[in-house]
Every structure is written in structure tokens, then in C-alpha cells.
Chains A and B, each alone.
Chain A
Amino acid sequence: MSQLRLENLQCIYDRTVAVQNLNLDVAQGELLALLGPSGCGKSTTLRMVAGFVPPSAGRIFFGERDVTHAPPHARDTGMVFQGYALFMHMSVAENVAFGLQMRKVPRNEQAVRVKEALRLVQLDHLADRRPAALSGGQQQRVALARALIVQPTVFLLDEPMSNLDARLRTEVRLEIRALQQRLGLTTLLVTHDQEEALTTADRLVVMDHGRVRQIGTPQQVYEKPVDQFVANFIGRCNLVPGRVEAPGRFRAGAEVMPCASTDAPAGSPDLALMVRPDRVRIGAAGGPGLPARVRLGTYLGSATEWHFETEVGSVTVTRPSALAQGGTERGLVVGEIVSLNWSPEDGLALPADART
């Protein structure tokens, strides 16, 4: 049974539609990431679940309970705010204890649980500090402990990593995921960082202009994006506009390229062939596939990114750097002519917007 359920949720303010007909089911213990560019409605959705924004239509359920019109303090959600929103005039321990005080938990039990929560986020030694005296990462952990201690029905994370530097972000991401799984928390994560969403979520909801583009596991969304927007937003991709000439044959100008057979009608407009840069193979000149000229190679450490010019536009290919080192694949020279090919199942003919 789903722990969090959104039914036809809608939010309109200032006559703009922030969220439109959103339907979601989040299972007990599942981490669902709402992902999209700014203004896509993901934060509004989270704030509707927390009770800060009243929905214009639709309903919100926590389990069996309809909370659509419940005030925020009666919802029993635990939220980690983007800027953490710590109470600056209270100590770390007082911050963490606040939710228990509001629930009128006996004092001695409060003390035990605060200690436990702070140990969980490895901050027990800083209990008496003021938030201002902590680093960004430590403040973030206080915010986590403060939200977790109340054992919320729904755990809400609003861009929790956006104020951390890149190195810390990866670490904290793993920590949050581990905590969430250990405690079995039903979680909604809002992020604009596709890598964060891919690596932490059980399922992703890709949103744009208040509407859902695609819902699926990270694998589904990456491997089988429903349209060009999703393909572009999750991971990197090459997009070549054209049309499906026959099943498995995609035509762009004079070139015909292999593609997976799709549901997209052969004549549908705005189609583009999508191939992930890591799925393209580089072959010798004159070989099967798309003729291409090497324009630039960028060494990225673990991978090397090659940019090619072709008849159908520029194409990016990433190859593990180890391949070039190990000699299984020869190095490329700028200006050199090669041919690019891929397995038919890696070429997807995608519409611009699957919903139209």
C-alpha cells in the first residue's frame, strides 16, 4: 500500500499553473526524487505535501489519512529545508529536541532520543554548540537529525545538498541514502541535480512546467527516456533530428542510422534519434556507420570525451580512458576521419514531448 499518495494534485497561483494534475504513489520506505529545471513545480509539490502551499485541486493522502486540508503542524512530516532553517538562537540539542517538545514527549525520554539522533548523524560532541558555530555539512546533519527524530510519516528533502561543496555532496548523499534505508523512511527528495537523483532515488519523477514527463527507476529513465526533454535532462545525449523511415531505420538528411523499433508513429513530427555518448563505438574510416571527423578530445580522467563533426551535426562520444591506455583502442588524431556506429537498441527515436 502506498504511504504517500497524490491524486490529481494541482496548484495555481497568480494565474500560472505551478503543478498540473499530478498523480503519484510512494510506497512505504521508498525514496522518490522529484527532478526538473527550476520552475518545474517540484518544490511547489513538496510544499503542498508539507502543507505550506494549499493545493488548488486534488488530494493528498498519508496512508489512509486525507491530509489535503490539514495544517502543516498536524501533518507529521519531517522536512530538511534548503537553507536548513535551523533555529539560530537555540543550541544543536535544543534544535533537535524541538519536535519532541511539540509532541509533549517526557523530558527524560527527550534527552535519550536527542542523544541517539545526534549519534546517528555523528554530532553528539557538538550538542551544546549554536548552529552558527558549525560548518555547512554539520548544519546539514543537525537539520537531518531534527527532522528524523520525530519519526515522520513522510520525510521531505528540499534540495538538501545544494549548499554543500561538491566533495561533501557525494559523501552526504550516501549518508542520507543509508539512513533513509536503515530507518525505512518514505521519502520525497526535490533536486535539480540529475546525478543526485540518479544515485539516491528508488524512482525518479521528471517534471517540467508543472507536469510529469516521466516516472520510473533511474535505469528506466536513463535507458528508456520517453522524450527528448527527459533524455537531455537525465545524463548526456546526442540528438539528431529526422524521421523513422522504416522499423529500425532512422533517416536524417542523406544518412540512415540504426534505431530501436519504437511506438512513435513513423511519420510523427519533431522526432530525434537519441544515442548516449557512452554507447557509441568508434570504427575505422569507411567502416559501417556514420562518417565523422574528429574535432576535439577532452580528457576527463576516468573517461575521455571526443567531439565529432558529421553530416547530421556534432556528436559526442565518451570512452573509458583505460581503453586507450590498454591499447585495445587506438588513440584518435584531430581531423582524422572515422565511422561511428551503435547497436540498434541504443538508438531511440524520441518525440520532443511524449505527452503531445
Chain B
Amino acid sequence: MRFSTSARRLAVVLAYAAMLLPLVTVAWLSFFAQPMMAFPPEGYSLRWYANAWSKPQFAGSFLLSLQLAAISALVGVGTGTMAGYAIVRGNFRGRRALGALLLSPLAFPGVVLGTGIYVFFVQIDNAVDLQIVATLPGLIAAHVLLALPWTVRIVSASLQGLGRSQEEAAANLGARPVTAFLRITLPSMRSGIVAAAVFSFIASFENLEMTMMLTGPGYSTLPVEMLSYLNFNMDPTLAAVGTVQTVLIAALLLVADRFVRLSRVTS
């Protein structure tokens, strides 16, 4: 099929508009002066940003979310990379099944996953008297599940693209398997691993449905706090928080893209 240049341009403009309009609208709303979100704005102000930061539930949950996203991305990418390597390069029974299992968190609705994990945590609590719900280790364990599918997918894809011959060449030149992995395989997967880390971080940082089931009073992540704030308030504070969140993620993506070309990871 052939499209004229102007038709193609129009399609591009529409696609960008569909993606960016909601973001721009939220950012715009966050600067409205009046407490009720309504058009047209009566004036502009930064008070909602100040308001968000002054509320302990936002500041605290923001820091918790950052911490949680960073740690679970680290743990998830570490284990996911090893799992991906084992699945692609290993030679054992059940490799495919293992791959499917590690991708399965993507297949469950977040709420279902969260409920399941919650019940599991409570069972453990009952059995060994160890509280896991609404603790950092519990949240990390759950959020590692968000990182795993991304990492296994991306690492497998980049390993398959890499092929075995570079590792064989290293072995041929006298490198033991561990040396070959550290000196050849790992550096060649760098883009894939960075991409997996970025996606895992984002998946954790913005996760609401699953996390909702696993937090407790006074111990909760930013998206969960935002939802509960929304139950009682309709002022633009949430727009301000959302804008900060979006800017942070965009900055992360830009930095990562500087470091490795994310757009080229899958090729």
C-alpha cells in the first residue's frame, strides 16, 4: 500500500496526539489555581506541588516507591538475567516450561495476582508468625514478579540475537565459561539488561493493582496513596504528583537511551 506524504504526516500527528494529549492535559491541570478542576482555568499557580510535598503520605510513599522500584528492579534483573541465560543457553529438561512460568505474571490481572500473593503472605504469617504484608521485603518479593517477565524476555531476545559463536570464540581462545560470560556475553547484553532494568523500574514504580493488596496503613506506595487521596479529594494535587511521576520516568528513559539505544534493543 502507498500513502501520500501528507496522509502519512497526518497519521503521525494523530498518533502522537493520542499519546501526548492526556499527559499534556494532566500537566496543564496541575498548574490550575482553583481547587476544583474546571475549564477554563481561573489562574495559574504552583500551590498544588507545594501541597503534594507537604502531605506526608505523598512524600513518604514517593520515597518508598523509589526505593522499592530500585531494589526490585535490581533483584529482578539479576535473577531474570541468570534465568534467561539458563533458558537460552542451558540444556536441561523443562527449559520451555520455565520460560513460560517466568512470563506468566504478565498473564494475570494485577488484582488477582495481588490477592493471591496476599493470601500466600498471610498463610506464611500464620504458619511461622512472620509479618510480610505491608513490609518492604514483602513488597520487594512481589515487585520482583513485575521485573522478571520483562527481563527474561529481553535477555532471551538479546542472547538469541547474539548467537553462540562469540562465546565459542572466547572459549577457543582459552576463556573458561565464567570468564567468557563475564568478558563477552554480559557486555554484549548490556543494552538488553539496561532496558530490562528501566522497564522493571517503571513497572514497579507505577504499579497500582497488585500493590494495592499488599500495602497497609501508613506503609504504602505512591500510586496507592494517590488512589486513596482521590477517594476524598478532587483538587489538582494528584495532577501535580502525576506530573512529577511522568517527568521522572521520562528523564529515566532519556538517560537510559543516552547510555544504550533502547530502540535498538530488540533488533
Contact = CB atoms under 8 A, between A and B. Distances in A.
B184 interface: yes
Contacts of B172: 50, 72-73, 75, 77-79, 147
A73 B174 contact: yes
Given A87-B184, A88-B188, A89-B188, A73 B171 contact: yes
Interface string B150-189: 0000000000000101101111111111011001100110
A150 interface: yes
Given A73-B174, A81-B169, A85-B168, 11 more contacts: A52-B168, A73-B171, A79-B168, A81-B168, A85-B165, A89-B190, A99-B173, A99-B174, A102-B175, A102-B179, A150-B174
Contact of A102 (B165, B173, B190): B173
Interface string A53-89: 0000000000000000001111111110111011111
Interface residues of B, number: 20
Interface in A5-64: 50-52
Nearest to A71: B171
A222 interface: no
Contact of A83 (B165, B179, B184, B187): B165
Nearest to A149: B173
Contact of B175 (A52, A73, A86, A88): A73
Contacts of A89: 187-188, 190
B259 to A, nearest CB: 14
The 8 closest A-B pairs by CB, nearest first: A102-B174, A85-B165, A99-B173, A85-B169, A72-B171, A79-B172, A89-B187, A73-B171
Interface centre among B166, B172, B175, B176 (most CB of A within 10 A): B172
B165 A146 contact: no
Given A50-B172, A71-B171, A73-B174, A81 B165 contact: yes
B169 A79 contact: yes
A98 interface: yes
Nearest to B188: A89
Contacts of B180: 73
A337 B190 CA distance: 71
A87 B174 contact: no
A238 to B, nearest CB: 41
- Residue of B163, B166, B169, B190 with highest tally of chain A CB at under 10 A: B169
A103 interface: yes
B185 to A, nearest CB: 10
Contacts of A52: 168, 171
B167 to A, nearest CB: 9
Contact of A87 (B163, B166, B190): B166
A98 B188 contact: no
Nearest to A50: B172
Choose among B165, B168, B173, B175 the residue with the greatest number of A CB atoms under 10 Å from its CB: B173
Contacts of B184: 87
Nearest to B162: A88
A74 B173 CA distance: 9
Contacts of A79: 168-169, 172
Contacts of B190: 89
A150 B188 contact: no
Interface centre among A82, A99, A146, A150 (most CB of B within 10 A): A99
Given A87-B184, A89-B187, A89-B188, A73 B176 contact: yes
Interface in A74-118: 74-79, 81-83, 85-89, 98-99, 102-103
A89 B172 CA distance: 18
Contacts of A73: 171-177, 180
B165 A98 contact: no
B173 A98 contact: yes
Interface string B69-89: 000000000000000000000
13 contacts: A51-B171, A73-B176, A73-B177, A73-B180, A77-B172, A78-B173, A83-B165, A87-B170, A88-B188, A98-B173, A102-B175, A103-B174, A146-B173
Interface in B181-209: 183-184, 187-188, 190
A75 B175 CA distance: 11
A275 B190 CA distance: 59
Nearest to B170: A98
A150 B171 CA distance: 13
B151 to A, nearest CB: 20
A85 B188 CA distance: 12
Contacts of B165: 81-83, 85
Nearest to A72: B171
A79 B171 CA distance: 10
Contacts of A51: 171
A78 B176 CA distance: 15
Given A81-B165, A87-B166, A150 B173 contact: yes
Nearest to B173: A99
A88 B166 CA distance: 9
Interface string A146-182: 1100100000000000000000000000000000000
